[in-house]
Amino acid sequence: MSKHKVKFYADGANLDQILKQYENPEIEGFTTNPTLMRKDGVSNYEEFAHALLSKIKDLPISFEVFADDSELILNQARKIASWGENVNVKIPITNTNGESLCPVVKELSDSGVKVNVTAILTLNQVKEVIAVLNPEVFSIISVFAGRIADTGIDPVPVMKASKDLLGGLPNANLLWASTRQVYNIIEAENCGTDIITISPDILNKVGNFGKNLNELSLETVKMFYDDASSANYKIKI
């Protein structure tokens, strides 16, 4: 189990990498999406999912629907949910026309499907999701804090307010998504966030927590020196 107050969910779609992360006690769940799967060369969605679920049965894994029609989304979601007890089904907050998918979320949550509502960026969207979740069923609300920050807006107030709104839903979990840097873990913990997604690059940097800054400075200087030497750079003097 992670020593941090917030749960780490590894974010990615490389099967070998995910299985390696599964051995890390810091990791308490996994998330993926069609974009990550395409980037990592996944050609068969169901084969990839079943290969992953055959190895990981005790930690939650989020798989996302990719239909855009409400009825098709419902069908895909139910199929994905049937793959395992540890499956969370990711449903975007809207379809590609900007139409709310909260009615879909409500139908799924009321039927016992563990939803992960994704691509949320506003507090109003959080409120809309909260209004339709079944309080008895596990759920995740994924607020893309990193994308909020990309627009020049501080995501911390949004995350804090979102956590306050979740007070009446004991089975709902707030997730800090699109993590950009290690310090986001500290921010997520200070906001009371339940989960944070961690990319492999971010996970590799978690070991720097508490490191002496003078020591890190020296490591950086040595890195520059070693890279210049390896590249055989020359300056004529």
pLDDT in tens, 122-174: 999 999 999 999 999 999 999 999 999 999 999 999 999 999 999 989 999 99
Q: What whole-number percentage of the chain has pLDDT above 90?
A: 95
In a domain, 230, yes or no: no
Q: Are 183 and 206 in contact (CB under 8 A)?
A: no
- pLDDT in the model for residue 92: 98
Task: Work out the pLDDT band at 210, boundaries 50, 70, 90.
Answer: confident
Q: What domain count does the chain have?
A: 1
- pLDDT in the model for residue 223: 97
Task: Work out the pLDDT band at 209, boundaries 50, 70, 90.
Answer: confident
Secondary structure E strands in 15-144: 27-31, 61-64, 87-92, 115-120, 139-143
Summarize pLDDT for 164-185 with one digit per residue, the tens: 999 989 999 999 999 999 999 9
At residue 1, does pLDDT exceed 70? no
Strand partners, 61: 30, 87
- pLDDT in the model for residue 118: 98
Summarize pLDDT for 99-119 with one digit per residue, the tens: 999 999 999 999 999 999 999
At residue 220, does pLDDT exceed 70? yes
Q: Are 133 and 139 in contact (CB under 8 A)?
A: yes
What is the extent of the structural domain holding 206?
A: 7-210
In a domain, 31, yes or no: yes
Average pLDDT over residues 183-196: 97
- pLDDT in the model for residue 3: 73
In a domain, 225, yes or no: no
At residue 40, does pLDDT exceed 80? yes
- pLDDT in the model for residue 61: 98
Q: Are 60 and 93 in contact (CB under 8 A)?
A: no
In a domain, 202, yes or no: yes
- pLDDT in the model for residue 121: 98
In a domain, 223, yes or no: no
- The domain spanning residue 72 has which CATH number? 3.20.20.70
Task: Work out the pLDDT band at 35, boundaries 50, 70, 90.
Answer: very high
- pLDDT in the model for residue 207: 85
In a domain, 97, yes or no: yes
pTM assigned to the model: 0.93
Task: Work out the pLDDT band at 2, boundaries 50, 70, 90.
Answer: low
Q: Are 33 and 64 in contact (CB under 8 A)?
A: yes
Calpha distance 158→124 (Å, rounded): 10
Q: Are 172 and 162 in contact (CB under 8 A)?
A: no
In a domain, 228, yes or no: no
Calpha distance 228→94 (Å, rounded): 49
In a domain, 25, yes or no: yes
